[in-house]
Structure 1
Amino acid sequence: MPTIKVFDVNSLYPNLMVANNILDAYGFVSGSNIKNEEKYLQELLCIETNNEADLTYWNNFAKGRFAGRIFGTLFWFGLYDEIVKYKWFITTKRFTNHEMNGQDLLNLIQNKNIIVTPNGLLTNGNQLSILLEKTLVEWIKMRDIYKAKAKQGDQVADLIQYATKLAMNSMYGVFGTDSFPFYNIYIAEAITITGQYISLTASALINRYIQTKNINDLSVNIDDFINARKKFDANTQFIMYNDTDSFFVYDKYDILHEDVLNNSVLPLVYTYAHRFATNTYKQKVLPHYPKVKLEFVGDSAFGTGVKKRYFLYNSQTDEYKLAGFLNRQNPDFLNEYLINLFKRICRGEVKLTMLEHIIKTELTSMLKDYKANLDLTTLRDISGVVAWKTATLTSNDLISILKAAKNKSEAEKILKSIAPHIFGMLLYNLIVGPVFSYGSRGLSLKGKYSLKFLNELSNKLRQHLPLDIVMLVVNKAKNASLIVVEDSDEAINFVQNYVVGLEQEYVNKFVKSIKDML
């Protein structure tokens, strides 16, 4: 039975930096005698200039320095016959330049046990850099330890593993920053381009394995690599989506498993790049070869083909994996509606041609129900507030505190910690704006105040106005006009229209964003 599987690559950039000894470079291929390097590389990678997908790939990949990319690609796929046809210019790490014919360069690479990255960086394949051993290798080990503790519920360990992840990832970013003392664009590109080549080469191998169902019929070749860029096809192209550290695979025969990938498929990725590295070196960095973990198994999917925008669904367990569609500014009920809508699409209950009509119809109905269910007693209590001096906490303080909250849970804790009568007064100020304000005072022209009133108001607000609505009001508070409350009915109408109006604004944006996605 076909399945859709999501595999995540483990710490790809830090591990490929170690595997390719990226900080111990002899030099890089900086030029060649190829007449038109850009055209040669386009033809080598079969870039069709009238194909939008090809052009997108090319524009992300081709940033000049074509000679290095040509040499690295030829070497990555073992096309040595092409390499020997040309002369190549090598710039050493001391920035001296040397011209070599292709055969002499290949001999040098073999004799010196050199690793070649896809952008033409030449690194030491004899011994791992001490700097890498003392930084990335140790950090990777440390992160694995704390990740294991975090899985057992240790929140401090989770923070440490996350901080370690940020430190590891910053190692590759700094080399592309010209203010960094050791700035080197060739090292920076060696990391990112090698990541791209690993992703596409692995995709090519996965495609080949699912097509042939033969683990012994796998090889790294440029034709399969080029085909891996093509759009998903249930018969020939089984990669639904990939980026540098994840694969979404249509496993037509349900034969692709973690052990198959980690033990048989992914070790082939470095077949040619590490061909001349010593066996001792390869054994040392073997733990840093690409490894994946199965993150999700589903039976249907919905997506746009745009990076990080997809919905995967398992109809048997009702589990899903989603990215790119939800908006953190949306109220919870909108995001919940979207998730349920995608489930219905995956189950075949909603036709895409009717999607816009269905969304507008259903959400309009939901808004009517929402407005009808607003507790009029609560709204009258809001309008009944006359005045309250908070002494230590103002409406502006509450805005600042809520905006500083790291997440919804923290914001809820903050709200619960505020005395109920103060919370009621502050929220009233946020919703209608004080008619007269001086310091932390707020007034309405009619109504009666009592401490009991404010306590009841606070409890009802917590019950009937969920936090996401409160946050919407907070974010809009400074733009709201001051309202003169002539009587309680006017206050009720204002609160109803203002809160529901905010909802309607987000519904309209929501419908437009879905329409744009399609």
Structure 2
Amino acid sequence: MLYLFSVRYSGSDGRAVLYFYDDEEHKIVKIPDYSGHKPYLLTDLTPDEIIEKFPEVIKHPGFNKLDIVEKYDALNDRWIRMTKVEANDPLSIGGSGKSIRELLKDHSWEAKIKYHHCYIYDRQIIPGMPYKYEDGEPKIVETSVPEGIRKLVEGLVEDKIQAAEMIEWAKLLSAPIPKIKRVAIDIEVESEALRVPSPKLAEDKVIAVSYYSSDGRKGVYLLEREEKHGNTQISLGDARITFFKDEKELLLATFKLIEEYPLLVTFNGDSFDLPYLYNRALKLGFKKEEIPISWKERDEYPELRNSIHIDLYKFFTNKSMRVYAFGNKYREGNTLDEIASALLGKGKVRHEELISEMTYQRLAEYSFRDAELTYELTAFNDDLVIKLIILMMRISKLPMEDLTRHNISAWIRNMFYYEHRQRGWLIPNPEDIKRIKGDTSTRAIIKGKKYLGAIVIDPLPGMYFNVLVVDFASLYPSVIKTGNLSYETVRCPHEECKRNIVPGTPHWVCTRRRGMMASIIGILRDLRVYVYKKAAKEVKSEDEKQHYDVIQSALKVFLNASYGVFGSEAFPLYCPPVAESTTALGRYAILKTMRKAVDLGIPVLYGDTDSLFLWNPSRDKLEKLLQSVLDDLKIDLSVDKEYKWVVFSERKKNYLGALKDGKIDVKGLVGKKRNTPEFIKKLFTDVVTTLSKADTITSFEEAIEQVKDDIRESIMRLKNNQISLDQLAFNVVLTKDLQEYVETTPQHKKAAQQLLREYKKLYGSTPVNIMKGSVVSYVKTRDREGVKHVQLARIDEIDTEKYLDIMKTTLEQVLDALGISFDELLGIQSIDDFLQIKSKK
């Protein structure tokens, strides 16, 4: 079968080209478009008005023709006639100051959509789906929905039209996913100290290219250098080592390798590896047609002419993927080392010497590990990442290259734009939505927000045993569905709908028609919660279970990000009243559930956004609450957590609890921030471990006393300079090169500059190369700069007061909930004081 991976516009052919993956031949098949599809925009001007008022449009060298089309204007609930202005190439529509879009200005619609996306919408093709080539044209392969999934859908929805829509979505999700032949590469460049290699200039030699593939090929291409870098008889397990005397020959071999695989995987390859290889090849005398990479500085990203490239850096640092697909395992990390360590359990090869000064053996080990990690990030858990990418291509209708490089708002936007075209709807301009629908009406509590957000119910301070947390399944997607919220339904133009008010707002919702956003988000939400999540628990086959888990994980990414997108001004379908109505209905659901719990005699200790903490409810009362919410609000409420005990302070969003399995749950987990010094991280972990062992009031009180002792001892050791520098160090990754920090000078930059200056003073040059991605370790000191690189600091220079402040900030969440004052614990001055406190007990 052929799987659609990409659509590109070919300027030389003047048409779209579809890139399919042939899963039998394991190669990319390029099929040009023969439909005659052309770029276009829509305008509210008639052809006569265009000819009379904008004659330069007709005279434009790229102009092709005018057509009359009918479109549904959802904002005003009417069908309208518009003029379709067709051009011969995308740049004639938009992209230059003399384009047709610029000529028509405020009279243009759908003029900023990328051509290859527009082509996908109009031709109704779906990236990631299987196709067959028939009668000179690719046709989608009809997919059957597993019987178990079909029964779950039919049992869920009585309306036949809605059931049919859900089945169509289930077909997309149920279609087979191919095993993709692929190779991961990593390049290493010879560069001088203090100078970061430039992909644009490509002045330095490529000295190593490592590769790791799905078909078992793995190895390193190494460039022989005049200087002695060790014996060329090196070994790297079953990886093949190949030496080249000439750099041009090394690049030829690299390009040949890339051409043999339909999919190339890199980590930060868009910004470094591919543009560097391209420009370096040109410098060495390659002709452009000899290089499989196509790249210009104005391009959004480099492309491979005959295959597809995925940059995993952009995919894994996508916040929605990090949070919803990978459970925040690597938190805010943006390095290969941190992401691989979190997901694979192994990281990069550590080194202190410059890349150019490594022995051949060391260089091969270092470079090869990067290629290996890059490949394994696509292969772990039975190709989980590849499966997620394919599924999310189908949901968003985005080609593989676009999906892996853009954030979730681009995915959701594309999904809705596709749906507009399928329905014959006009895609509105953002300014039209704002003009017709108006702004928000409530006042935000949180600074920077434009309207009132989620509700947080003040906690009842104290310690409570047997606490259950109930939460709403996908609260915001649920209220978007049940509230029929969409840009065209909220504040619709119908007089009779104005009585259907959203609680807590002046906004009303249409009662005549179903909203597009409500419909699609509702379908995806029901498929995840009631179909695939349920099917994953019921099926006996481990393969089926894993497949359904991947599907519901992909849906989770879209659903959990959907409200955030709807509430963002940068989203082109942003409608302030929709965003405001969503949070209003969320607050209404929480408050109504809270009242019902109180009516049933269940004490509510705390509430936050989509969850409530209930104190020791009986099983009978809990079941009545869950059923009541389902009946009244049409939203599922379920038990999320069960605590042995929970301690609340007087502050919102601040509590500490021990789950039934013994794990401690601290709201916010300040102590686990990545850059917190190890000494303070360990203290935080010890405190949490001590508390987790308590399961009665007596043992809890004993645990509190132990916590106090541990903190006092740590304070004493810090004051007496008994903590090693490495335990006090902040380890911070440079997110850009040193020279790029212009407006501010963060502490890790200061520390890096100190180290470079010191090496230069001692040796005249420096053996270290500090660049973007390097980890800088520093400690806080009492001198004028307030910071020193850990290699340059002495223990007696440590600023104890600053570390005590950090310790207090890290622990105060826990201590506040326990009623412990950190300032009182600071009263200890010496080891004698500490021993005296211990002896009194």
- TMscore range, shorter length: 0.3 to 0.5
| Larger helix percent | 1
| Larger strand percent | 2
